């Protein structure tokens, strides 16, 4: 019988990320009778740190768990901990390092006969986030057609959603709408607010785009994906500005910049704060100007800028 703690350690952090499927790496057909205590301590502490948004700490602990899994030659745990490390690095936008980790996970999954869909999906998403669209498409094709992938409905939804985002990057609204329809056909219980928003932008419907970006930001907040939340707020600000609602645009831009600063993403925070500053001047709002001036002063004293 599988040890209960082993099952806990295989609950991948992917379940906490709404933009990816909620499945976890499968357990080996012949798991060891007891989970290694040192590995268990590191992996459990890492998950706690991840859930709290303490990504650097989580990455350090997942690395310790991965090293221990390698040390004891537990391929199942190599798959699980390298996969969780990849997600933690992705949350910090360290896409190259995350790709290395998820590919180690995929190799370990393959060696144990576990389905590859989780790893292929994350690998495809990392390629997309790094701007490698053709590579992302190739990985999505593997997810959909490799017999070892064995995707569930949630994987299929996310694969088609990602295909739609790629189509948006290529300014092909028709292809994006086709991908959205396939995503919804794969799993009607899930929402692709970000894809709906991106399609609306391509169609020039900025009111619909702003509403969908707001919905996506709320969904990412509920999922604990705060970097994606602030990105969605920033995109909503841009849509509201183009729609002709500078007051709503300022609100979203200020909130996005405030969150990005707290996350330590200084480049994003400065860019979004510049938009908020422009909007505050356009509105001639003393209150808004005071808010954004204080936030930019805080940025200037941030250790990240030293």
**Angstrom distance (rounded) from CA 110 to CA 108:** 5
**Angstrom distance (rounded) from CA 73 to CA 66:** 10
Average pLDDT value for the chain: 89
Q: What is the pTM of this model?
A: 0.85
pLDDT of residue 134: 98
Range 216-225 average pLDDT? 92
pLDDT of residue 124: 98
**Portion of the chain with pLDDT greater than 90, in percent:** 81
Q: How confident is the model at residue 304 (pLDDT cuts 50, 70, 90)?
A: low
pLDDT of residue 225: 85
Residues with Cβ within 8 Å of 45's Cβ and at least 6 positions away in sequence, in order, are 61
**Angstrom distance (rounded) from CA 179 to CA 177:** 5
Q: How confident is the model at residue 5 (pLDDT cuts 50, 70, 90)?
A: very low
Q: How confident is the model at residue 10 (pLDDT cuts 50, 70, 90)?
A: very low
Range 267-295 average pLDDT? 95
pLDDT tens digits along 91-130:
888 999 999 999 999 999 999 999 999 999 999 999 999 9
Q: HEC states along 4-25?
A: HHHHHHCCCHHHHCCCCCCCCC
pLDDT tens digits along 53-64:
889 999 999 999
- 50, 196, 274 from 268: Cα distances, Å: 21, 23, 10
Residues with Cβ within 8 Å of 37's Cβ and at least 6 positions away in sequence, in order, are none
Q: How confident is the model at residue 241 (pLDDT cuts 50, 70, 90)?
A: very high
pLDDT tens digits along 182-213:
999 999 999 999 999 999 999 999 999 999 99
pLDDT of residue 218: 97
Q: 10 Å Cβ neighbour count for 79? A: 31
Instruction: Render 121-183 in DSSP notation, one character per residue.
Output: HHHHHHHHHTT-HHHHHHHHHHHHH-TTT---HHHHHHHHHHHHHHHHHTT-HHHHHHHHHHH
Q: How confident is the model at residue 19 (pLDDT cuts 50, 70, 90)?
A: very low
Tell me: pLDDT of 301 over 50: yes
Q: Are 25 and 83 in contact (CB under 8 A)?
A: yes
pLDDT of residue 306: 44
pLDDT tens digits along 21-36:
433 323 333 344 467 9
**Portion of the chain with pLDDT greater than 70, in percent:** 88
Instruction: Retrieve residue 43's tokens.
Output: 């992996």
Range 269-274 average pLDDT? 96
Phi then psi dihedrals of residue 68, to 5 deg: -65, -40
């Amino acid at each position: 019988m599988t040890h209960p703690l082993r099952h806990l350690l295989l609950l991948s952090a992917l379940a906490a990320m709404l933009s990816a499927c909620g499945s976890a790496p499968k357990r080996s057909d012949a798991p060891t009778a007891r989970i290694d205590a040192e590995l268990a301590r590191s992996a459990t502490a890492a998950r706690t740190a991840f859930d709290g948004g303490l990504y650097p700490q989580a990455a350090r602990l997942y690395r310790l768990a991965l090293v221990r899994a390698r040390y004891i030659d537990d391929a199942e745990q190599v798959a699980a901990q390298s996969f969780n490390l990849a997600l933690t690095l992705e949350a910090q936008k360290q896409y190259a390092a995350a790709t290395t980790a998820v590919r180690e996970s995929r190799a370990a999954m393959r060696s144990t006969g576990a389905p590859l869909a989780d790893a292929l999906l994350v690998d495809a998403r990392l390629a997309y986030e790094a701007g490698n669209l053709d590579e992302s498409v190739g990985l999505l094709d593997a997810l959909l057609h490799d017999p070892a992938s064995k995707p569930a409905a949630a994987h299929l939804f996310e694969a088609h959603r990602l295909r739609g985002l790629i189509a948006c990057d290529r300014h092909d609204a028709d292809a994006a709408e086709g991908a959205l329809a396939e995503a919804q056909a794969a799993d009607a219980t899930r929402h692709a607010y970000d894809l709906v928003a991106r399609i609306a932008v391509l169609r020039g419907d900025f009111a619909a785009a702003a509403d969908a970006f707001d919905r996506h930001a709320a969904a990412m907040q509920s999922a604990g994906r705060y970097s994606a939340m602030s990105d969605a707020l920033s995109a909503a600000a841009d849509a509201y500005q183009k729609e002709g609602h500078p007051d709503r645009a300022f609100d979203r831009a200020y909130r996005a910049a405030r969150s990005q600063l707290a996350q330590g993403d200084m480049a994003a925070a400065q860019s979004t704060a510049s938009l908020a500053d422009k909007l505050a001047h356009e509105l001639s709002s003393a209150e808004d100007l005071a808010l954004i001036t204080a936030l930019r002063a805080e940025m200037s004293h941030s250790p990240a800028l030293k």
